[in-house]
Structure formats: C-alpha cells, structure tokens
Structure 1
Amino acid sequence: MKNIFRLLIVLFLIYYTQDSKAQNIERLRINNGFRTIKLGTDVHLYPEFIKKNSSNSKYFGFLLEDYHYIFNHKNNRKFDKIGNAKIFRILVKTYQNKIFKIDITLEKNRETSELLKLAFGKPTYNIKNNLTWKTNNNIECLFQEDLKTFDHAYITYTNQELEKLYNKEKADKKKKKAISEF
C-alpha cells in the first residue's frame, strides 16, 4: 500500500512539473514577442519604429548584424524598464515588412533572468549564461549577458520560420551577385 501511495505521489509530481512547464512555454507562444511588439506583424503598425538609413545609422550602434528598424521608446514609459533594468535600445529585423526578430539591449541585472524564468519556466537550453526558451511553433526567446563589458544584457525574440525565409532570400541574393561578378 505504501508503494502505491509513493508511486501516486511521484506520478503527481511528474505530471505537475510537466504541466507547469508547458503552461509557461505556452505563455511565450501567446505573447509572441515583447509586450505590444509582436513577431510576424507588419512593422508599419508601430509608428514608434524608425527605419534605418544613412542619416540615422549612428543610432543603431556598431552592430555586426543588419537591423532594419529602431524603436523610439523615449515617450513611451511602458518600454523604459524590464523589472529594475533600464532598456537602452530595441531593434527589429523584418522580412517583407514582417517582424521576425526583436532585440532588446538592457542594463545587466540579475533580476531579469529570474523574471524570464518566472514568466516562461525552466529554459529549454542553459549554456554559459545563455538561456533559451523554445516553443513548438518556432518562437524563441534568448537571454544573454555581456561577459566582456559586464554592464549589458540582451533579450532576443525570434520567429524562426520567418528568419529562415529571410536568410534564404539573403543567401540567394548573395549567390546571384557572386554569379553576376564572373
């Protein structure tokens, strides 16, 4: 009888932990981005986004990747902080005007990773201060702390399906250019 009772407790705990993890990851799927900025939506729905061009590229910083828009959140207090961490910059990448990547640069703060864990549950991957949550429908949230400067952290939301399409188109254009050069 004791063994059956123990087995029931173990089964209950397994079910409870699996169910709570699924619910937390479900939250990431439902959010589908950061606050009101949603992955897969047309960037033109957000008047706060400023398109990158030669006259304003200095505001995008010295980034290795090619981001398309920066979010002007100066007049929107909803985007000032995550917990106690100040948000410095929000950048997005688009494919056919649809947002597929949201990159948030913020002040490094231990509370941020704890808030993400509370919101989305246990990370799918946890490798050297890189926490990753993934949903079944290709939505990913990545949290990284800058180990070089020790003062920045990054949260990146990605729609992996749109990112694949973007990368394929970019590679095709690069190949076409290379072929035309010879």
Structure 2
Amino acid sequence: MRVTILMLFLFLAGLAEAQDVRELDKRNGFKDIKVNTSVLDYEGLEFKKETDDKLFPEAKIYVPVKGYYESIGSLKIYDLEVKTYRDSIFQIIVVTDKDPNLYKGLKTAFGEPEYHYRSGFYHWTAENLRLSYTPYQKDKIEMKYESFLMRNKLKKDKEEVVEAIVDDF
C-alpha cells in the first residue's frame, strides 16, 4: 500500500514539473518578444548587424531602441540581442544583474531547471524552446532563449536547396 502511494506521489510530482515547463512554450520568449515570429512586428527593435551564426547562415542581430526593454522588474538589462533567420526570431539573449530573485522567479514560472555539468549552466527545455541561465562575468547573468522550431525550419530549407539541385540535373 505504501509503495503504491509513494509511486502515485512521484508520478504526480513529475507531472506537475512537466506542466511547469510547458509554461516556457506558452510564453514563447522574453516579455513581448516571441521566438518564431517576424522581427519586423516589434517597433522596439532595430537592426544592428549581420552575423554568421554557427547554425544559421546570414543571421541578423537586432537590439532594443532606446526606451524599450531596459529592465526586468527592478533589474537593469545590460544587453539584449535578438537573432533572426530570414526575419524570423530564433534566439533571444538577455544579460542582466545576477540576482537570486531572478532565478527564483524562473523556477516559479518553469519549475526546477536541469544542470548541464560540462558547460556549468542551468536550462529549462520545453517541446519548442530552451531557456538557459548562465553566469556572465562576475556579477551578471545571461539568459538565452533558443527555438527548436527554427532549427527544424533551417533543416527543411537546406533539404529543399539540395532537392532543387538534384532536380536541376
């Protein structure tokens, strides 16, 4: 009997954590910036430069316009970069103060994170999105939102290019 109750309790605890991580997919990004959407929909972002990302060729970086995305509650945002592939957002990087309340807030919203021992960072992984929480300098934290859907889109685009070459023989 005790074993059954214990198993039920562990099952429900695991189920509750999985529901928390789903909140990451539901929010789908940082503040009102949503991954897998067009960067052109956000008046608070402006083009900064083109870059060659490891995964995404010809990626573009957008940064906030003065007066936009300057804080998370009382925490100052030191850097915010939005990376795009064909104008669709695939990554959001936020650098802010190291504050235990930020970590507590993330745990409250998304549940207990996983710890990546090799790289030394925490992350929450949902079906479509990963949020990593990494030390950045001595007194700052970097949060990185990464879209799995955009990776799949890139893979599909590459396959279409190969098919077009094959069809052209």
TM-score by length of structure 1 reads 0.72
Q: Could you tell me which residue of structure 2 aligns to residue 110 of structure 1?
A: 100
Higher strand share: 2
Q: Please, which runs of 5 or more residues in structure 1 have no aligned partner? A: 58-62, 171-182
Aligned-pair Cα RMSD in Å: 2.7
SS in 1 for 2:82: strand
Share of identical aligned residues, percent? 27
Deviation at 1:64, TM superposition (A): 9.7
Q: Could you tell me which residue of structure 2 aligns to residue 178 of structure 1?
A: none
CA spacing shift, 1:167–1:69, aligned 2, 3 Å:
farther
Q: Where do residues 17-166 of structure 1 align in structure 2 (5 Å cutoff)?
A: 17-53=13-49, 68-72=61-65, 74-76=66-68, 79-127=69-117, 129-136=120-127, 138-146=128-136, 149-163=137-151
Q: Which amino acid aligns with 1:35?
A: K
Q: Please, which runs of 5 or more residues in structure 2 have no aligned partner? A: 54-58, 159-169
- Between structure 1 and structure 2, the one with the greater Rg is 1
The 8 Å contact of residues 83 and 112 in structure 1, kept in 2 or not, is answered as no
Structure 1 CA distance for aligned equivalents of residues 140 and 153 of structure 2: 30
Q: Which amino acid aligns with 2:12?
A: Y
Deviation at 1:26, TM superposition (A): 0.6
Q: Which amino acid aligns with 1:49?
A: L
TM-score by length of structure 2 reads 0.77
**Deviation digits for residues 20-73 of structure 1 (CA, Å, limit 9, x no counterpart):** 1111111001111112100000000001111014xxx9xxxxx9967511022x
CA spacing shift, 1:67–1:167, aligned 2, 3 Å:
farther
